[in-house]
């Protein structure tokens, strides 16, 4: 192979792989579905926000189990770190950079948002809240 | 033999004294190894933490071997080791005790009558301890030769007997030592030294029979005759799998769904009624939503019903079948769990390697098998006491 092509090819490969890690088609589909629901619920909705997601993730909520006021109660403030359940079981990092298959299985996403939101807030999360969190953790 | 067995002592103070070889080497070794194994068994059984149970059992097995040897040596050993040489009549025993009270006991070369009664009693209590210990080990712990033939109920029922015999043994050992000291003072001959060197000074005037020699070859043959059927019985017993310890098939759904938040508990750790109530209220699972799709919930529920405590005869299953009246779904609230963990500092559970009371496997290395052997306990960072 001609040496002149090697560097651009390598660079292209790196860009492509990085993009693939972030923009997983399954995750994009889940986000797209959430965006549709968000728009249906709130016509002023434009896009999910990583900042809103971060704020929601770190906030103390009420309405759920008082022992679990925040996402960080189990997942810790650092999404790239391992979390821990009340029963002492380790939870793999939620950050997509640490676990590439996060938010790529619709059933799993629904099940765990339903459970975790009820535990922390005493209610299911809105599509905007869920989309914001996925966006936040995808960038982590 | 006489020349070797008896030697004139170097200058007795008053009466001429003969040194007699009363205890041959095998009986001395028997005595001191028995002292060591009984002490080990008492300390590991009554004081040491649970995880010394393996050492306790080993000490018990050693006692069994020593008892078998003692019986054989009681027939084929040297003169004073032979049971027949210290099988006194009740009248002789009473006479000896009366003499002791008057501080003028008749002298004996080997076991005196009171001592002989104690020897027989000690051998009987040790036999009882070995028997109840083996039944307890087999029934409760599903270990040892009787694991396949004794159930939990029988193993548990002999527990108080084993304990009572152990305390009886402590009392008897104290009496035995007291008797040895009294006899040593009254006869001015150290019985302890005699059990170490084998030689005992006796008054030359005491009529000493011509001692019969030990018959080691006959003793070895007798031991072999006992060992062969014993080995056959042990081999036959080992063919039985432990009672009430079924093989638990792995259930990937159970392991994945329940294991996501906590250790997937062995199904034997709660009774059927508790598992049913727990599966019926997954939306409020100890304060958290653990809702499952109906199909998965049904599959897991059926698995738990099949392998619940009622299906097992292990100590853990039988004990945890008795749940807390207030919180029948919590294994860690069962009376047995609370009693067994009462001595453990709460800070121990908070350690990083443990994290929660419900993390059984952090300390019980065999938690996934449902056995919960005492020897398998290993508290990360020590027991903190």
pLDDT tens readout for residues A29-44: 999 999 999 999 889 9
Could you tell me if B94 and B112 are in contact, meaning their C-beta atoms sit under 8 angstroms apart?
no
Q: What is the CATH number of the domain that holds A130?
A: 1.10.760.10
| pLDDT of A4 over the 80 cut | no
Give the pLDDT band (50/70/90) at residue B177: very high
Numbered ranges of CATH 1.20.950.20 in chain B: 2-238
Domain total in chain A: 1
- Is the C-alpha dihedral spanning B366, B372, B377, B380 positive or negative? positive
Q: What is the total residue count of chain B? A: 385
Tell me, what's the pLDDT at B2?
A: 38
CATH class label, B2-238 = mainly alpha
| pLDDT of A53 over the 80 cut | yes
Tell me, what's the pLDDT at A39?
A: 94
Mind listing the pLDDT tens digit for each residue in B239-274? 999 989 988 999 999 999 999 999 899 999 999 999
Which of A7 and A73 is assigned the larger pLDDT? A73
Residues in chain A within 8 Å Cβ distance of B262: 85, 87-89
Min CA distance, B324 vs chain A (Å)? 19
Query: Which among B255, B257, B261, B360 is the top mutation candidate for probing chain A, defined by the most A β-carbons within 10 Å of its own β-carbon?
Result: B261
Mind listing the pLDDT tens digit for each residue in B186-202? 888 899 999 999 999 88
Tell me, what's the pLDDT at A125?
A: 95
pTM (two decimals): 0.83
Angstrom distance (rounded) from CA B109 to CA B115: 12
Average pLDDT over residues B286-292: 92
- Owner of token pair 């990937």: B252
ipTM of model: 0.77
Residue B36 sits at φ, ψ, to 5 deg, of: -65, -45
Mind listing the pLDDT tens digit for each residue in B75-119? 999 999 999 999 999 999 999 989 888 878 788 889 999 999 999
Helix A50-58 and helix A127-138, axial crossing angle in degrees, nearest 10: 100
Min CA distance, B362 vs chain A (Å)? 10
Among the partner-chain residues B262, B283, B362, the one whose CB lies closest to the CB of A85 is B262
Q: What is the total residue count of chain A? A: 140
- In B, minimum Cα distance to A89 occurs at B262
Mind listing the pLDDT tens digit for each residue in B33-44? 999 999 999 999
Tell me, what's the pLDDT at B3?
A: 35
Give the structural domain span for A38. Answer: 3-138
Among the partner-chain residues B261, B289, B362, the one whose CB lies closest to the CB of A85 is B261
Number of neighbouring beta carbons within 10 Å of residue A51: 10
> DSSP strand E in chain A: where?
83-84, 90-91
Mean pLDDT, all residues of chain B: 91
Give the pLDDT band (50/70/90) at residue B13: very low
| pLDDT of B7 over the 60 cut | no
Q: Give kind and range of the element (H or E) at residue B203.
A: strand B199-203
Residues in chain A within 8 Å Cβ distance of B362: 88
């Amino acid at each position: 192979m001609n040496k002149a092509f090697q560097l651009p090819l390598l660079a292209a490969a790196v860009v492509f792989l990085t993009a693939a890690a972030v923009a997983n088609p399954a995750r994009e589909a889940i986000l797209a579905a959430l965006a549709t629901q968000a728009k249906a619920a709130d016509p002023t909705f434009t896009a999910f926000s990583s900042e809103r997601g971060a704020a929601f993730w770190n906030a103390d909520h009420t309405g759920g189990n008082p022992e679990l006021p925040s996402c960080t109660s189990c997942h810790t403030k650092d999404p790239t770190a391992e979390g821990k359940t009340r029963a002492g079981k380790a939870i793999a990092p939620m950050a997509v950079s640490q676990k590439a298959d996060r938010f790529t299985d619709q059933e799993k996403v629904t099940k765990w948002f339903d459970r975790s939101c009820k535990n922390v807030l005493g209610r299911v999360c809105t599509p905007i809240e869920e989309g914001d969190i996925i966006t936040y953790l995808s960038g982590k | 033999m006489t020349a070797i067995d008896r030697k004139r002592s170097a200058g007795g103070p008053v009466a001429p004294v003969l040194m007699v070889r009363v205890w041959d080497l095998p009986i001395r070794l028997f005595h001191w190894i028995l002292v060591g194994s009984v002490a080990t068994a008492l300390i590991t059984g009554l004081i040491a933490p649970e995880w010394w149970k393996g050492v306790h059992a080993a000490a018990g097995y050693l006692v069994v071997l020593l008892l078998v040897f003692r019986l054989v040596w009681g027939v084929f050993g040297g003169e004073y080791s032979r049971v027949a040489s210290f099988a006194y009549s009740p009248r002789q025993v009473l006479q000896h005790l009366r003499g002791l009270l008057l501080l003028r006991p008749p002298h004996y070369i080997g076991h005196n009558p009171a001592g002989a009664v104690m020897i027989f009693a000690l051998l009987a209590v040790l036999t009882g301890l070995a028997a109840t210990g083996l039944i307890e080990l087999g029934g409760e712990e599903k270990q040892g030769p009787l694991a396949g033939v004794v159930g939990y109920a029988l193993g548990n029922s002999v527990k108080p007997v084993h304990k009572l015999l152990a305390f009886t043994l402590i009392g008897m050992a104290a009496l035995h030592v007291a008797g040895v000291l009294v006899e040593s003072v009254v006869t001015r001959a150290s019985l302890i030294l005699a059990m170490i060197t084998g030689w005992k000074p006796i008054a030359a005037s005491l009529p000493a029979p011509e001692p019969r020699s030990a018959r080691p070859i006959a003793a070895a043959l007798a031991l072999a005759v006992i060992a062969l059927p014993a080995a056959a019985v042990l081999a036959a017993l080992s063919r039985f799998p432990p009672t009430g310890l079924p093989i638990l098939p792995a259930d990937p759904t159970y392991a994945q769904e329940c294991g996501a938040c906590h250790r997937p508990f062995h199904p034997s750790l709660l009774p059927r009624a508790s598992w049913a109530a727990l599966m019926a209220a997954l939306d409020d699972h100890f304060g958290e939503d653990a809702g499952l799709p109906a199909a998965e919930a049904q599959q897991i529920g059926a698995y738990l019903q099949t392998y619940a405590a009622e299906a097992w005869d292990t100590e853990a299953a039988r004990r945890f079948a008795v749940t807390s009246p207030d919180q029948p779904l919590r294994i860690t609230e069962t009376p047995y769990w609370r009693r067994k963990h009462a001595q453990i500092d709460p800070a121990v559970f908070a350690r990083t390697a443990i994290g929660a009371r419900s993390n059984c496997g952090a300390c019980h290395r065999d938690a996934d098998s449902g056995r919960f052997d005492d020897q398998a306990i290993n508290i990360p960072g020590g027991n903190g006491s």
